[in-house]
Amino acid sequence: MGYSMRKNKTYHRKKTVLLWVLCMGMMVGLAGRLVYLCVFRSVYYSEKADDLHERERGIKAARGRILDANGEVLAANRTVCTISVIHSQIEEPEAVIAMLVKELGISEETARKRVEKRSSIERVKTNVDKKTGDTIRSYGYAGVKVDEDFKRYYPKGKLASRVIGFTGGDNQGIIGLEVEYEEILKGINGKILTTTDARGIEQNGIGESRQEPVAGRDLKVSLDVNIQAYCQQAAEKAMAEKQADSVSILLMNPQNGEIYACVNVPEFDLNDPFTLQQDTTGLSEKEIQDLLNQMWRNACINDTYEPGSTFKIITMSAGLSEGVVSPNDSFFCPGYKIVEDRRIHCHKRTGHGAENFVQGAQNSCNPVFIEVGLRLGVEKFCDYFRNFGLMEKTGIDLPGEASTIMHKEENIGEVELATMAFGQSFQITPIRLAATVSALVNGGKMVTPHVATDVLDEEGNVVKHLNFPEKEGVLSEETSRTVREILESVVSEGSGKNAYLEGYSIGGKTATSQTLPRSANRYISSFLGFTPAEHPTVLGLCIIRNPQGVYYGGTICAPVIRDIFSNVLPYLGIGHNSQET
Amino acid sequence: MRKEKEKKIDGTLLVTVWILLGLGLVILYSASAYNGRVRFHDPAYYFKKQLFASALGVIGMYAVAKIDYRRLFALAPWFYAASLALSTAVLFFGSEYNGSKRWLKLGPLSFQPSEFAKMAVILFLPWVMEHTKGRPDSLWFMTKAVLCTLPIAALVGSNNLSTAIILLGICAFLIFISHPGYLPFLGIGGAGIGFIAVFLMMESYRLERLAIWRNPEAYEKGFQTIQGLYAIGSGRIFGCGLGKGLQKLGFVPEAQNDMIFSIICEEGGLFGACLVIAVFAVLIWRLMVISIHARDLGGALIAGGIMGHIALQVILNIAVVTNTIPNTGITLPFISYGGTSVLFLLGEMGLALSVSRDTD
């Protein structure tokens, strides 16, 4: 170094110290800032950070079961497993692949693809049996995850499909009891809080907290698997014999509204509710959905129809109650009745001739009931119509009940009144008809038809008995008895004789109605029967839609109810007359 | 060469450097393990690279400490020229990472010329001042220093504004030390603030940065800042424990880089963070002591420049992480990930040690 360097003078030193002091000051300031952040703001920031790190994973609650009147399982849960692999955690890839191939029966190629894929978590197979899941878990391989889930299962398959209903992907009810009693059945889902990294991958062993799920309650229903199965069989037989579009059978207790059976054939498989019975190729998604919705409809509740002659029970009750007609009143049927300028035919064109009211009922004579309707007048008729609950829904515990389709009162003339008197020109649901007739034959008590009876806990103890509204005094006890007697004579001597069963007292009424448009010559045939006639505890309604060949309700529906009664009554312990006293 | 007195190097500085280096590697491992595992299937990926650079740096530090700094001082113009050449080269042949062209690749090694530029400036400016005739309070004296810094600052600043700020900061430090007056610096300070204001107004994105600074939670681009604050706030007084932090799990982006101080806060709490600041304070104190005891102005300015370099980076880095100032990418010396950075920082420590050998 040939030159002499400048000296490090005092002022240089002073200034260096000054800079150092400034730097130290700033560092102390920053430390102060840290105190503020770490102490005074820490609650705020750490809460925000926790929100970021924690992930909620739901644990599904077991859905409550649905049990029939005898405790037979109609809807239950099956535990299924989802098998996944976590690439970053796998330690023995070859062993894992071999295990997956062996236990899941998948190809080695598939297993290898899943195991070797560098994703955070790769699903290998869903809906795996719990047993298989447990086996896989017992291998204890790192990076293999077995998640349990519940899947709804219906042990009886097609039985009472539209009543029980089914659940969707999140185990939520979609139709039937499954949706109506969702709150009782679903339980409370639990959750696991886990810590994750920014990609959402769970970090093992840090801060996991668990909230256990609460299983849903079981639901006990009044349906009886044996009765339901027998009715379904009877309906299927009738449908096949008459090549009908569909057959509905409803069996209930008219004293309390409990439903024993509700059949709509063809039924669909509850374990496979999204498969249509017809070919769906070439149909749009919307068309398929419409067809599915159609298939899921409960015709007894969701659809209305013209009740036809079974409605004469209502006209009869109103007439007797109002005193405009008595059983011995004389009538004459020339085969038609002229109302205003219209000639309304009786189903027997040649006429029933001279007959009293009871005989008119036995003959299901239209002119007789037209006469009763006209004697009542529009206002009274409508009052009874309302009073018998026909303008309201029954309140059955199933979703989607349809409303009555009825004329406006001010638009009802003599002709409309006449047609309504024998059950035409308006529409009600089968369940509405059954509920109203129940009230008319049980002594005048309007009951709410219902399927569910009790809420049970896991041990089968009744947690809650379900009560449904009842209304007394819809019809006097005396009139009700008269109605029962007349209807019993319809079966023992009149048009309902095909429902006659030796040793039992059965009341009932047949009906045959032409559907709209009348020109299509399509019919709905039905029969409504109840027993014992003195104190009815079983009421059955059979409806056959679009039967081929003979279509009279008395000919094709009454035998179905007779057949059902002959099997169900002994089963229910309803005594044979000869065994009484 | 002074042969009469062979003095010992500054032991405190050396120990502090070793502590900082060890601390830095431990913290870096903790902060980078997740990213290493996720990206390279090796939690020690970043740690290993840093360890290699540190080892190289330590060798360099001891070698430089052995050499008389005046011999290196004489080579300052060559270092400066090399730094200009490398910074130019990176503009053409540099490889990009995260959208910035800052690295020169040489086989498996990559080199960041901007880090070298800092050391070159720390050597070159004192050399210029030493070789400028005339009084150090003359305008020419100051202007010359600034003019010498501007080319390299402009080159580096074209893709790395933060380092350019550090370079200018070192320049300001050195001029301040070498100049006998105080008053002119008040004027310069005022002018600087005015310049910064105009600079910010010129581009709307810089104003946006200001808005983000004031309320980082309201902006998507405030994400990094907010994540840093979450980490700091989560740490509380004593932290969640080394290695146990969660924010480095991808929440604080590139946790091993600029934002590593937030991980120190999360895992070590206020206590750990203040400890790290204290170690830096000791380091800066020793550099100040070496500077004021240096026999000649050259040594004093080299030590002062190094002090300025470390102090500026530590202060700016912590200020950014704690959202005290708007976000700018400045690394924390010895702790943030960066091989070139740690290599030349250790080189600078070697220079300081060399200066410390020859003090009164």
Query: Per-residue pLDDT tens for A216-248?
Result: 999 999 999 999 999 999 999 999 999 999 999
Question: Does residue A33 fall inside a structural domain?
Answer: no
Q: Summarize pLDDT for A145-172 with one digit per residue, the tens.
A: 888 878 889 999 999 999 999 998 778 8
Catalytic residue among A84, A309, A317, A495: A309
Report the alpha-carbon distance of residue B268 to residue B241 in Å, rounded: 6
With an 8 Å Cβ cutoff, are B234 and A45 in contact?
yes
Residue A86 CA to residue A90 CA, distance in Å, equals 6
CA distances (Å), origin A163, targets A175, A265, A268, A450, A466: 8, 12, 11, 11, 17
Check residue A165 and give left, alpha or beta (phi > 0: left; psi -120 to 50: alpha): left
Domain shared by A88 and A168, yes or no: yes
Q: Is A31 on the interface with B (CB under 8 A)?
A: yes
pLDDT of B106 reads 78
Known catalytic residue at A309? yes
pLDDT category of residue A57 using cuts at 50, 70 and 90: low
A545 three-state secondary structure: strand
Is B2 inside a domain boundary? no
- Which residue of A19, A36, A120, A203 to mutate against B (max B Cβ within 10 Å)? A19
Does some domain include residue B215?
yes
pTM of the model: 0.63
Kindly state whether residues A213 and A238 are assigned to the same domain: no
pLDDT in tens, B92-139: 888 777 677 788 887 778 888 999 999 999 999 999 888 887 777 777
Q: How far is A195 from chain B (nearest CA, A)?
A: 9
Interface test with chain B among A1, A9, A12, by most B beta carbons within 10 Å: A12
Closest CA to A518 of A346, A364, A306, A294: A306
Place of tokens 């105080």: B182
Tell me which of A1, A3, A4, A6 to substitute to probe the interface with B (most B C-beta atoms closer than 10 Å).
A6
CB contact under 8 A, B322 and A30: yes
Show which of A165, A190, A221 is a domain's final residue: A221
- A520 and A446 co-located in one domain: yes
- Is residue A287 domain-resident? no
Of A289-298, B37-46, B88-97, the poorest mean pLDDT is in B88-97
For residues A117 and A249, state if they share a domain. Answer: no
At A418 the pLDDT is: 94
Residue A28 lies in a domain: no
B5 in a domain, yes or no?
no
State how far the Cα of B61 lies from the Cα of B82, in Å rounded to an integer.
20
Q: Is residue B220 part of a domain?
A: yes
The whole-number average pLDDT for the span A309-338 is 94
Both A528 and A505 in a single domain? yes
Q: Is the pLDDT of residue A440 over 50?
A: yes
pLDDT band (50, 70, 90) for residue A125: confident
Residues of A in contact with B308 (CB under 8 A): 19
Residue identified by tokens 């001597």 is A493
Query: Which one has a higher pLDDT value, A328 or A117?
Result: A328
Nearest Cα of chain A lies from the Cα of B294 at a distance, in angstroms, of 7
Q: Is B275 exposed, middle or buried, given 0-12, 13-18 or 19+ CB atoms closer than 10 A?
A: middle
Any idea which of A256-260, B5-9, B151-155, B286-290 has the lowest mean pLDDT?
Answer: B5-9
Which member of B284, B296, B304 has the closest CB to residue A6?
A: B296
Chain B nearest CA to A148, separation (Å): 28
A370-421 pLDDT, tens digit per residue, is 999 999 999 999 999 999 999 999 999 999 999 999 999 899 999 999 999 9
Confidence of residue A50 (pLDDT cuts 50, 70, 90): confident
Residues A455 and A380 both lie in one domain: yes
Give the model's pLDDT for residue A581: 37
Examine the domain organization and report whether A145 and A254 are in the same domain: no
Chain B positions touching A23 (Cβ under 8 A) are 284, 307, 311, 315
Nearest to A8 among B176, B179, B294 (CB): B294
- Total domains in chain A come to 2
Residue of chain A whose Cα is closest to the Cα of B278: A27
Tell me which residue in A15, A41, A198 faces B176 most closely, judged by beta carbons. A15
A464 and A390 in a single domain? The answer is yes
Could you give the count of Cα atoms lying within 13 Å of B121 in the half-sphere of its Cβ?
Answer: 36
Angstroms from B261 CA to nearest CA on chain A: 11
What average pLDDT does this structure show over B304-332? 92
CATH code where residue A453 lies: 3.40.710.10
Q: What percent of chain A has pLDDT over 70?
A: 97
Whole-angstrom distance, CA of residue B252 vs CA of residue B267: 13
Residue B140 Cα, gap to closest chain A Cα (Å): 17
Find chain B residues with C-beta within 8 A of A12's C-beta.
177-178, 292, 297, 300
Mean pLDDT of chain B: 88
Is residue A32 assigned to a domain? no
Average pLDDT, chain A: 90
Å from B93 to nearest chain A CA?
Answer: 33
Helix and strand element counts for chain B (H, E): 13, 3
As a whole number of Å, the CA-based R_g of chain B is 20
Banded model confidence at residue A567, pLDDT cuts 50, 70, 90: very high
- ipTM > 0.85, yes or no: yes
> A-chain residues within 8 Å CB-CB of B321?
none
Residue A344 and residue A199 in one domain: no
pLDDT attached to residue A73: 95
Q: Does A15 touch chain B (CB under 8 A)?
A: yes
In the predicted structure, residue A580 carries a pLDDT above the cut 80: no
Give the confidence band of A208 by pLDDT, cuts at 50, 70, 90: low
Residue reference for tokens 């042949």: B93
Nearest to B14 by CA among B279, B284, B350: B350
- Residue A486 backbone class (left: φ over 0; alpha: ψ -120 to 50; beta: rest): alpha
Question: E strand or H helix at A544, and its extent?
Answer: strand A538-545
pLDDT score for A4: 56
Q: Is residue B69 part of a domain?
A: yes
**If phi over 0 gives left and psi between -120 and 50 gives alpha, with beta otherwise, what is residue A407?**
beta
Pairing mode, strands A246-252 and A538-545:
antiparallel
A49 touching B, CB under 8 A? yes
Whole-number CA gyration radius for chain A: 36
Cα A506 from Cα A500, distance rounded (Å): 7
Residue A207 is predicted with a pLDDT of: 59
Question: Where is the domain boundary, A165, A196, A221?
Answer: A221
CA distance B29 to chain A (A): 17
Contacts of A8 in chain B (CB under 8 A): 292, 294-297, 299-300
In a domain, A408, yes or no: yes
Domain that holds residue A264: 228-268+298-572
Domain count, chain B: 1
Interchain contact, B232 vs A45, CB within 8 Å = yes
Chain B residues whose CB is inside 8 A of the A44 CB are 233
CB atoms near residue B257 (< 10 Å): 20
For B122, the token pair is 């720390």
Between positions 142 and 201 of A, the ones with CB within 8 A of B are 195-199
Lowest mean pLDDT among A41-45, A54-58, A232-236, A447-451: A54-58
Indicate yes or no: CB of B233 within 8 angstroms of CB of A46. yes
Q: Tens of pLDDT along A335-377?
A: 999 998 889 999 888 999 999 999 999 999 999 999 999 999 9
A411-433 mean pLDDT: 94
Altogether, the residues listed in chain A come to a count of 581
Residue B354 CA to residue A173 CA, distance in Å, equals 81
- What crossing angle do the helices spanning B139-157 and B76-93 adopt, rounded to 10°? 30
Same domain, A77 and A214: yes
Q: Do A19 and B274 make contact, defined as CB atoms within 8 angstroms? A: no
Task: Examine the pLDDT at B72 and tell me if it is beyond 50.
Answer: yes
Closest residue in B to A18 (Cα–Cα):
B177
Q: Please determine, for residue B7, whether its predicted confidence score (pLDDT) is greater than 90.
A: no
Are A235 and A191 within one domain? no
Q: Do A38 and B176 touch (CB under 8 A)?
A: no
| Number of cross-chain residue pairs from A and B with Cβ atoms under 8 Å apart | 158
Range of weakest confidence among A112-126, B171-185, B218-232 = A112-126
Taken in order B4, B8, B13, B18, the sign of the CA dihedral is positive
pLDDT given at position A577: 65
Q: Are residues A69 and A194 in the same domain?
A: yes
**Using CA atoms, how far apart are residues B28 and A358, in angstroms rounded to an integer?**
102
Q: What domain range includes position B113?
A: 11-356
CA distance B173 to B306: 10
CB neighbour class for A477 (10 Å; exposed up to 12, middle 13-18, buried from 19):
exposed
